[in-house]
Structure 1
Amino acid sequence: MKKLFIAVLLVLLLAGCPKPDEEAPEVMITHPANGVEIYDDTVYVQITATDERGVDSVELYINDTLAIAFTKRPFEYYWITTNYPDSSVCSLFAIAYDYSGNTGYSDTISVTIRKNQRPIVSKPFGELPDEGIINTLYTFNATATDTDDDSVYIRFAWGDGDTSLWSSLVKSGDTISMEHRFINAGTYTIKAQAKDKRGRLSFWSEGISFKIVEQALHSLDGVNDFTNEMIAGIDPTGDITEAGQPTPHPLDLDTLWADIWNGKLWIGFKAYASNYGLAYGIYIFPNEIASSGATSDPWERNVFYTTGNDTIFPTYILYFWHENNDSITSANLCKFQTNWNYTNIGSDKFIYNKNNDFLEISLPLQDIGNPDSVFIELFTTGGDKHAQDTSPDDPNVQFPNPDWSDIKTGISKAVKVK
C-alpha cells in the first residue's frame, strides 16, 4: 500500500512540472524590404520578434557585423549609410534570444546603397530688360537636372527678402518659369534652388543681378526723352535750302540722339519732311566699322561708306520712306548675308510723331547680333540718289541745294553710341 502511494505521488509530481522550453523565438526584419535600393542617408530598420515565453534580447547584424543589441522593445534602428560607397550591396539579419537560451534567426535580406546625388540647378535666365520697372511682373526661368534622374522641384530667392514656394514636381532637365514683381527700386540678386523628390537639396545657384528703377529711361512714344549725354551727332540746321521749301528744309538733319538701354538701340531725330517724299537711312556697324562684303547699297542708291580709299557697306541698314502725305509708309531693316535681306519693322520698333516731327526707333540688339558696341550714321536721300545731308555733319556730304545727280557720295562719320 505504501509503495502504491509513493508511485501515485510521483506521477502527480511529474504531471505538474512544466515541459522544458525548446522552441526558438521567431524573428524577422520587416523594414526595409529585401532587394530594395536605398537612397537615403539614414535608413529605418524594423525588427519583429515573438516567443511564447518572451523575448530576452535581439541583435541586428549588418554585413555580418553586430550593429546593435536590443534588450527591450521596440526593436528599431536608424542605420547611417553615408560612409558606404555608391552601389554597395549590404546584408542584414537578426538574431532573437528567449529566456531559455533558445536562438532564432531571421532570413537574411540584401539591400543596395545608392547615393542620392544633389540636383544641379541653372542660374535664373529669361528675356529680361537691362532695367526693370517697379510693380511690373517679370518672368524668370531655371532648369534643374538630377544625376539619379529623380523628378525635381525648383524655387527662387528674389533678393528682396522673398522666396517663392516650391514649383510642382517636374522631370529632370525640365525648365520652370515663375513671375515676380519688385516693389522698390534697387538692384536685386536672383537665385534658384532645386530639390529632388527624395528631399535632397541643391546648392543655391549663381545669382543674376537685376536693376529695378522707378520709371523707364525711354519709351517708344514719339516724344524726345533723350538727354544731352545721348547726343550722337550734330549737323547745322539750314545747311540745305531750296526755293519753295520751308526752313528747315525737308532733307535737313540736325541733332542725332542715340542710346543703348534695356537691350535695345534707341535712335531719335527730327524728321522735317512734311509733304516731301524722301528716305531716311541709318548705317549700322556692330562692334567696329568694317565691311560686310556687300558690293552695293540694298536700295541701289548712290550711297556708301568710305574709310580712306576703301568703299564698304555695313552689315545692317535701316531705311524709312517718308511719303509726301507726311507719313512713314515703309520701314525696313536690311541685313547682308551673301545678299541683302529685308525685314519689315512695325510700330513696336518705331514711331513717327508728325506733331513734333520726331522719328523714334527702338531696335532690339538681338536684331543686329547682340553686339558689344554700335556705330551709326544718319542720312537723307531721295529716289536712287546719293546722301543729301547727314548727322553727324559729314565733310563728304555738303550740298547747299539738293543735288539729284548720279554722282556717288561716300559718308564717313559713323559715331559710336555711348
Structure 2
Amino acid sequence: MFPTRLAEVSASQVLEVIQNEAAETLDFELKRTLPVKKGVDPWMTNGKLGDDAKDELAAEIIAFANTIGGTLIVGIDEDTATKRAKPPIFPIPRCKEAAARLHQAISDRVEPKLPVFECEGVITEADGTSGVIVMRTLESYLAPHRHTQNNHCYVRRNDRAEPMSMLEIQEMIRQKARSAANAEKSFQDSGVRFHSWIPDEHQRTHPDVGVQGTYIAQGTTQGWVGIWAVRVTARPLAPFAITNIPKQPWLKGIDTRAFNGTGQIRQLEWRDLRTTRAWAPRLRAVDREFEGTNSFGLDRISSEGLIERFVWQKQPENGRPRHGFLEITELHWNVACVVHAATVIRALNSRPTQQFALEVELMTSDPLLLHGYPQRPTAVIPAGSTTFPRYEIGELQTFDELMMTVDKDVWNLGSYHPSWELGVIWPPAT
C-alpha cells in the first residue's frame, strides 16, 4: 500500500487511496471513524480514546499479523456494495496524538508483542492537526498472537477479522514451527553452498576445519598462499515471495558501492575490486560475480528474499608467515552491502519494515592480524571457521548499532574488546 515507512506517508498518498478506489482485501481494511459500539468515540468530541476503539483496532491488527500482514486506515469510508474507498475523508482530530496513543494501547493488547507494528497520523486537513490514522503490520513469525482483553486469537477471513478456532490455533503453531525449521535450514544450506563454492585449489573442507592454504613453488623455494573467506547471509523473518526475480528493476540499486563512515570507519570498500558482472538468472534466483587480482566474490538473491554474499581472498607470501592480514573495513563492507541490499529489496517491494535475520561466517587458513583503523590495538583472529551469533536487520536507525555489534564480535574473536564508536552513512534505498 505504501512503499515508505508510515511516518513518511503524505496527504497526497492518502488521497490516492480514494482516487484509485482501493478495495478492502485480505491485507487492507478501511474504517470511516474510530470504532465504537454506540454513539461516537469520545476522542471525536475532545475527550479520551475509548476502549471500544482500542479493542477493535487491536483485533484487526492481530488478525493481520496472524494472516499475511496488512494496512488499516481510519478516516476513509468504503462503498458498501463494492468495498472500495470513496470520498470524502472523515478526519480524526489531532490525528498524530491519537495515533501515538493507539500505538501504545494496541501494543499493550497484543501477546506476544508484535515484531513489527506501525501506527501514524497523516495530516490531511487545513487545520494542520486533523487527518487519518494509518496502521500496518507484517505477517508475524511469532504468531499466533492473542488479544489480552478477551484471549481471542484473530485471523483475517476475506475482509473481516474473526476469532480462530482451537484447531486453527494448533495448526498455526505447527506451521510456524515448520517455518522456523525452514529458516534454520536456509542458513545451513547457505553454508553448504559457500563451502562448495570456494575454489578446489584451496582444499574445501568441512565447516569445523574451514579453508586451508597451499604451498607453491617459487624457483628453488616454496611460497605460501593463505586464504580467508567470508559468508554473509540475510533471510526475511516473515514470508517474502519475489516473482519474476530476473526482471526486478531494483536489482540495479544493489551494487558494489563504497560506503562512507564515521568514527573509526572512514570508508568501507573492497580495494582489490576490479570487475563486477551483470546479474544472471538462476533457478528461482539471480546471482552475479565480482573479482579482483587476489579475490573473488558472488552475490545471490533468491525468490524467497534470501540474500547471500560469498567472498574469498588469497594472500601470497614468501614462505608461510606467522599470520595473514584482515582489513576490517573490507570485512564490514561485505556486511554493509548485504544490509543495504535488504533495505533496497524491502523498500521497493513496499515492505520497508520487513526484518531480516543476518548470519556471518568467517574462515581463515592462517591467523589474521586485524588492521584498518587508526591507532588500532593488536588483535589476531585464530585460524579456523567461525559462525558469529545471528544478528537482525531492523529499521534504519538500528543499522549503526548492528555494525558496531559485528565490529565488536570480530575484535572479541581476536581477544580484544573495543570501546570506540562507528557509523555508516547509509545511501537511500533507490
| Shorter-chain TM-score range | under 0.3
Flag the structure with higher helix content.
Answer: 2
More strand by share: 1
**TM-score, normalised with respect to structure 2:** 0.23
Select the structure with the greater relative contact order (CA < 8 A; seq sep ≥ 6).
Answer: 2
TM-score scaled to structure 1, two decimals?
Answer: 0.23
Q: Which has the larger radius of gyration?
A: 1
